Amino acid sequence: MFQLALRNLLRHKSRTAFTLSAIAFGVVGLILSGGFVRDIFFQLGEAIIHSQTGHVQISKTGFQEEGTRSPDRYLVDDAPGLRLIVTPVE
């Protein structure tokens, strides 16, 4: 049975080459689209985080009103000490 299949493949070289190239093109397309979708989800997550809606944001009083004009005035002074106060909830 294997010899019959091999003989058929060698007899119809153009059809075999076309089929193999179609399979290779499909696999490459699936790999590229999978990477594209994964990157879209990654960028969406990063956009949510950086648009100040994804994580808890701790700031000084007045940051919401004036922080966009001069954010350096509203930096947290004691970040390591703040890390000791805030504990993760399990």
Using DSSP's 3-state secondary structure scheme, residue 47 falls into: helix
Q: At what angle do helices 13-50 and 2-11 cross, to 10 degrees?
A: 90
Same domain, 36 and 4: yes
Same domain, 21 and 65: no
Same domain, 41 and 83: no
Question: 16 CB contacts (<8 Å, ≥6 apart)?
Answer: 9, 10
User: Does 90 score more than 60 pLDDT?
Assistant: no
Same domain, 6 and 48: yes
Same domain, 66 and 89: yes
Distance CA 40, CA 34 (A): 10
Find the domain containing 30 and state its range.
Answer: 1-55
**28-73 residue pLDDT tens:** 999 999 999 999 989 987 887 777 665 667 777 887 777 777 777 8
Domain count of the fold of the chain: 2
Q: Supply the pTM of this predicted model.
A: 0.49
Q: Which residue has the tokens 């049975």?
A: 1
